[in-house]
Amino acid sequence: MLRILGLDPGLRHTGWGIIEKDGSKMRFISAGVINPDDRLALADRLAELHEGLKKIIHDFMPDEVAVEETFVNKNPNSTLKLGQARGVVILTPALFHLHVAEYTPNQIKKMIVGAGHADKNQVDMMVRTLLKTVPEHIPPDASDALAIALCHGFMRPATLMQGGR
C-alpha cells in the first residue's frame, strides 16, 4: 500500500489531499487547506506554510508527494510569490526524504477528466467519482490536491521510469 500526498501550492491557500493506493485501487484518506495569515510578512507566511506541511507529513506519513507545477500569471509579482510558495511546498517533503513528483495542470486534468482543458467543476466531479468517500464540502483547493494525488497514483509507473524512486 502506498500513501500519496497531493499538494496544490499557493501563498494564500495551499490545498492538500491524502490518498492510499493499493494495486489499482485508490481511496480517500483526508484533505484540507493550509491558509497562512495574509496579514503577516512574506517570510512569516512561508514559515507558516512550512509548519503546516510538516504537521501534515508528521500526522499522515505519506510515502510520496505530488505537486502541481507553476503556471505563469499575467502579474509577474504574483508569479514570483507563487514560485516562493512552491519552493516551500517542494522543499518541505524533500527534507523528510520523500520523493516529490511534479505535474502540469494539463497533465492532471487529462489524467483525471480525460481532457487537458477541463474546468474545476469537472475535475471535482471526477475526484468524487474516483474517491467515493470524499466529504461533500471540501474546499476547491483540497479537491485539486486530491486530483494531483490521483494523477500521481495513475502516472506513478511512468514517473518512476523517468528517474524517480
Short-list 49, 32, 15, CA closest to 134 = 32
- List 44, 63, 64, 68, catalytic entry: 68
20 is an active site residue: no
H or E segment to which residue 4 belongs: strand 2-8
124 is an active site residue: no
Mean pLDDT of 103-108: 93
Domain containing residue 130: CATH number: 3.30.420.10
Beta-carbon contacts of residue 114 (< 8 Å; ≥ 6 apart): none
Q: CA dihedral in degrees (161, 99, 27, 33; nearest 10)?
A: -140
What is the predicted pLDDT for the residue at 57?
A: 98
What is the predicted pLDDT for the residue at 157?
A: 65
What is the predicted pLDDT for the residue at 163?
A: 46
Confidence tier at 119 by pLDDT (50, 70, 90): confident
Mean pLDDT of 10-36: 95
DSSP symbol at 83: H
Confidence tier at 161 by pLDDT (50, 70, 90): very low
The arrangement of strands across the sheet holding 14-22 comes to 25-34, 14-22, 2-8, 64-68, 99-103
**Phi and psi angles of residue 119, each rounded to the nearest 5 degrees, phi first:** -90, 170
Check if the beta carbon of residue 138 is closer than 8 Å to that of residue 7.
no
Short-list 26, 27, 94, 96, CA closest to 61 = 96
Domain count, the chain: 1
Kindly report the number of other CB atoms within 10 A of residue 98's CB atom.
16
68 is an active site residue: yes
Residue 154 belongs to domain spanning: 2-161
Average pLDDT, rounded, for the chain: 90
- List 8, 64, 124, 144, catalytic entry: 8
Percent above pLDDT 70 for the chain: 93
- List 64, 124, 141, 144, catalytic entry: 141
Per-residue pLDDT of 58-102, as tens digits, reads 999 999 999 999 766 778 888 888 899 999 999 999 999 999 999
Amino acid found at 24: S
Is the pLDDT assigned to residue 164 strictly greater than 70? no
Mean pLDDT of 4-28: 95
Where are the alpha helices (H) located in the chain, listed in sequence order?
A: 42-60, 76-95, 105-112, 120-130, 140-161
What is the predicted pLDDT for the residue at 72?
A: 67
